[in-house]
Structure 1
């Protein structure tokens, strides 16, 4: 849990998201219309990716982020953890404002690990992908 706490701190301090103004949601799937959790919500929120036992929690081996599912699988087309994937989940607020794409692929232009990405956020995502 210490790793995940550090990761969320890095995400929130890197300037990619602002927990104080809007909830930052992760949306994935073919049309980015599948809710995958709240990035900026408290670990006690059942919709938070930081909730250890919640459906959307990164550490829940049976939730949407399990290693064998489509969103954290290193080979999944819609996975944030696929180093060659082009269709990773997107980061948006409730108003639909786009903040970037959750992808470890360094060639995705709007990805957190892409050419215009934020190195600290990319590192945090890589840590999360390794932990799932």
Structure 2
């Protein structure tokens, strides 16, 4: 995998470069539920950007985009989109290195400061309605 650039919504400002690491989400109380790859391309079966995968489909129980699921609801203690989540998903690379928690909860210790995590948190409502468009904005 090559270097990927992230662009903000306007498409005009480059906000960072992520080296060739794949970043994965793990959720649940023990972070033992795999929730997909947050920087894999849309054709990857594990990508949260692949709307046909278990992790990118808005109706899948393993998707952060499922607004009614444990991992995508604004009320679930396991969701990154809950401002009160006690157990939001952890971001890990392929070697198990920890990059913080993907969460809106401002009080969660070790909240991720990765640029991609910050973008996902800021724009998650918009991303849910246009996953393909946001993938293009962020990775192309």
Kept in 2, the 8 Å contact 1:25–1:36? The answer is yes
Counterpart for residue 38 of structure 2: 39
Give the aligned partner of residue 61 of structure 1. Answer: 58
Aligned to 1:75: 75
Paired with 2:35 and 2:108, the residues of 1 have a C-alpha distance of 20
Structure 1 counterpart SS, 2:88: coil
The 5 A counterparts of 1:7-46 are: 9-10=6-7, 14=16, 18-20=18-20, 22-46=21-45
Cα contact 2:102–2:117 (8 A) shared by 1: no
Structure 2 gap ranges (5+): 9-14, 129-140
> 2:100 touches 2:111 (CA, 8 Å); kept in 1?
yes
1:129 Cα deviation from its structure 2 partner? 4.2
The alignment's C-alpha RMSD in Å is 2.5
Over 3 Å counting, the alpha-carbon distance change for 1:80 and 1:103 in structure 2 is same
How many aligned residue pairs are there? 116
Q: 1:121 offset after TM fit, Å? A: 3.6
Structure with more strand by fraction: 2
> 1-side partners of 2:19 and 2:82: how far apart?
26
| TM-score (normalizing by structure 2) | 0.71
**TM-score, normalised on structure 1?**
0.75
Q: Runs of 5+ in structure 1 lacking a partner?
A: 1-7
| Deviation of 1:53 (Å) | 1.7
Q: Is the 8 A contact 1:83 1:103 kept in 2?
A: yes
Find the structure with the greater CA-based Rg.
2
Corresponding residue for residue 91 of structure 2: 91
